[in-house]
Structure 1
């Protein structure tokens, strides 16, 4: 009630864009561009740095590919060993069943 007759703060007094009105900055106030002839392009790293990063990524991809092949080969070997162990276990269960039935 004490605010009667007072104007709202300045940020609430601005007109909102209506139909047909174009807002000068579609993303709000934002950060102003840096002064200088290359305001946005100077934020990009030099081409040499980009090339080094790409080369490092390529080496990392090759290392990961080699490691993936090694892990895949190990996985295949372990699957074969598991299948062999399961087969041997089935044979042992069958032999145990035969011995148990002979005793009875």
Structure 2
């Protein structure tokens, strides 16, 4: 197993048995709108997947948590431009209370190596 960006409480990702398990990814700039936060979150996913020896085209599953469904359409506009439509992962999207009220989106995923 390989732990990526482990701080003793959590890892950004864990590589095990040919799969990459992403922890919840959020933007660094929590003051941005949903478009900015989604772009930054997806860029972080790209970086973590690259470090793990994978890529967005190998995403098997994605769970997207939004602070409010009011952000759904704007988030999807960014997601649709980012994801390979021929290799779209299984995906769900829901609403949850975030760890900080400024966070608008968090994405969890599983990819192959």
The TM-score with structure 2 as length reference comes to 0.20
Greater relative contact order (Cα < 8 A, sep 6+): 2
Larger proportion of strand:
2
The structure number with the bigger radius of gyration is 1
The TM-score with structure 1 as length reference comes to 0.22
Larger proportion of helix:
1
